């Protein structure tokens, strides 16, 4: 049976594009410069999701901007070498677009960097709106970015679903009144995301088509 959902909002990193290794590598590079020998790979996993200002602000409020600049310089320099695609994403987006779904991206990334990833993975044609860190006062899990995306798409929360790999995405969707879907390929592990009780858990992006009654 076809659902009443006509709008799908996606997180970008770790959901649509595989930036996990890029982000981990960038954090390790930056933290090694400021805190040599203090951080290993597993220590930076909790930093995937929150904004850079949140993460670095909790470490050293006086050096936040400096650390953010260091992070961004390395991230941009290594971006195209390290970003990969997730299986099933492009094919699913293609079908959703053909079926007339309104599609948007809601990310805590800066707009210019988000567009870099979207363009690299050739996802540009699928999305009607991209809401980024610099478009809102409050980022996910606050509902503001979701409301902003829905407004631009002329959609209502009850007709929408938020899809993401992090608890910020699930809680933002719940706070905004949309349906929510977690992705089982989250680097933090399926069980971690399941604790936040998304309405659905996707094993592959194509599971969306089944949920929406398109398969």
Reply yes or no on whether 62 is catalytic: no
How far, in Å, CA of 179 to CA of 183, rounded? 14
Q: Would you say 8 and 160 are in contact if contact means Cβ atoms under 8 Å apart?
A: yes
Q: Which of 11, 13, 169, 207 is catalytic?
A: 11
Nearest alpha-carbon partner for 97 in 127, 75, 74, 122: 127
Whether the CB-CB separation of 122 and 16 falls below 8 Å is answered with no
Phi–psi pair at 115, nearest 5 degrees: -65, -35
Active site residues per annotation: 11
């Amino acid at each position: 049976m076809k659902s009443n959902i006509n709008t799908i909002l996606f997180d970008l990193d770790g959901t649509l594009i595989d930036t996990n290794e890029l982000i981990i590598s960038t954090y390790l590079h930056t933290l090694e410069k400021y805190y040599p020998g203090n951080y290993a790979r597993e220590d930076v996993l909790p930093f995937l999701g929150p904004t850079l200002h949140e993460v670095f602000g909790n470490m050293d409020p006086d050096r936040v901007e400096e650390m953010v600049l260091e992070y961004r310089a390395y991230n941009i320099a290594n971006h195209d070498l390290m970003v990969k695609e997730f299986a099933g994403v492009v094919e699913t987006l293609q079908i959703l677009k053909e079926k007339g779904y309104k599609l948007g991206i809601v990310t805590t990334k800066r707009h210019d960097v988000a567009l870099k990833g979207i363009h690299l993975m050739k996802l540009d044609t699928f999305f009607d709106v991209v809401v980024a860190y610099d478009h809102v006062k409050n980022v996910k899990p606050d509902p503001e970015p979701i409301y902003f995306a829905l407004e631009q798409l002329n959609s209502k929360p009850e007709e929408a679903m938020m899809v993401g790999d992090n608890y910020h995405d699930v809680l933002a969707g719940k706070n905004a009144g949309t349906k929510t879907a977690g992705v089982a390929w989250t680097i933090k592990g399926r069980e971690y995301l399941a604790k936040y009780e998304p309405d659905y858990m996707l094993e592959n992006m194509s599971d969306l088509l089944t949920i929406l009654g398109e398969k």
